[in-house]
Amino acid sequence: MSVARADFGRTGHKSSRTLFGAASLSSVTQAAADRTLEVLLKHAVNHIDTAASYGDAELRIAPWLKREPGRFFLATKTGQRSAEGAREELHRSLDRLGVDHVDLWQLHNLADPIEWDTALSPGGVIEAAVEAREQGLIKWIGVTGHGAQIAANHRRSLARFDFDSVLLPYNYVTMQLPYYAENFEALARECAKRNVAVQTIKAIAAKPWLGREHTRTTWYEPLEAQADIDLAVWWVLGRPGVFLNTAGDIDLLPRVLDAAERFEKSPTDSEMAAMLDRARAEPLFA
C-alpha cells in the first residue's frame, strides 16, 4: 500500500499528499535517519520538506538522495531576509544536501511585518529566489509561516509575489478560531484560483507544552493514541487539494503515515469534538 498522491500545485509533480517534514531529523543520528527513510519508502512518500535551520536535517537527507536518485521532490527553506544572505544560505543548503538544485525553495516563517517588507522588496530574499530560479538552482518558490495571522499574511504575500506554494497550520481546533478560519478559507480560494500548492502543518497538535516535560521533539504536545491521530489526519486529508506535512518526531511518523494510508473519508464534527475532549486539546495560538 501507499499514501495517496495529488498534483502539487502548478509544479507538474504528483506528490504524496502526506509530505515528510524533515524537522524530525534535526538532531538524530544517521542510522536513525536511515531507518526513517525505510518508513518513507514503505509508504511511498515522494516529497521531502526540510530547511536550512533544521539542525542536521539537510546532512541526514543527503545520503538518501544519493541512494534514491530522482525519487523525491526536494524542498528546503531559507530564513534569511536579504538577497545576499539568502544566496549564501541557498548554496550552503545545496552543499549540505549534495545536490545541484532543489525543486522548491521557501521563504521560512515570513510573518513579522518588518521582515516581510524587507524580504519582498528590492534587495530582499525574493530577489535572490528569482535569480536562483533563472540560474536553475531552484525550480519553484514558496512561502511558509506560523501563528494566528499567517493565513492573512500569506494572502498579502500572494498579492506581492506569485508564489508557487504556501505552508501554514491547519487542524480542527485551530479552524474553530473564527478569524483564522475566515482567512484560511480565503487563502485556500485564492490558491485554488492560482493553482498554488497548499501545505499544512500541525495536523496532530494537541496543545502547547505549557511547562510540561517534553516527551517528543515536536514544539507542541502531540496526539499520541493511534485512534486520535487517525481522526486528526483524516480530517486534514478530507479537504481536497491540501497536503499534510508530517510531525517533527520520527517516532510518530509511522503512526501518521499509517493513518494516511487508511484514509477513506473525513470524520464528523461530533467525532472530532469527542477527540478534542479526550486529548484536552487547545489552540496553539489565540
Q: Which pLDDT score is estimated for 217? A: 85
Domains present along the chain, CATH in parentheses: 5-279 (3.20.20.100)
Task: In whole angstroms, give the CA distance from residue 243 to residue 236.
Answer: 8
Confidence of residue 219 (pLDDT cuts 50, 70, 90): confident
Element of type H or E holding 274? helix 269-279
pLDDT value at 211 more than 90: no
Over residues 65-124, the pLDDT tens digits come to 999 999 999 999 999 999 999 999 999 999 999 999 999 999 999 999 999 999 999 999
pLDDT of residue 199: 98
pLDDT at 147 over 80: yes
Q: Which residue do the cell numbers 519508502 mark?
A: 41
If pLDDT is split at 50, 70 and 90, which confidence band does 285 have?
confident
Minimal CA–CA distance to 12: which of 94, 73, 68? 73
Does an H or E element contain 178, and which?
helix 178-194
- pLDDT of 1 over the 80 cut: no
Closest CA to 65 of 91, 47, 85, 90: 47
Average pLDDT value for residue range 10-27: 97
For the chain, what percent of residues have pLDDT higher than 90? 93
pLDDT band at 204 (very low <50, low <70, confident <90, very high): very high
Backbone angles phi, psi at 258, to 5 degrees: -60, -45
The secondary element (H helix, E strand) that includes residue 73 is strand 73-78
Predicted TM-score (pTM) of this structure: 0.97
Say how many C-beta atoms besides its own lie within 10 A of residue 136's C-beta.
9
3-state secondary structure of 98: coil
Mean pLDDT (whole number) for 171-176:
96
The predicted model gives 44-56 an average pLDDT of 98
Q: Give the separation between CA 184 and CA 24, rounded to whole angstroms.
A: 26
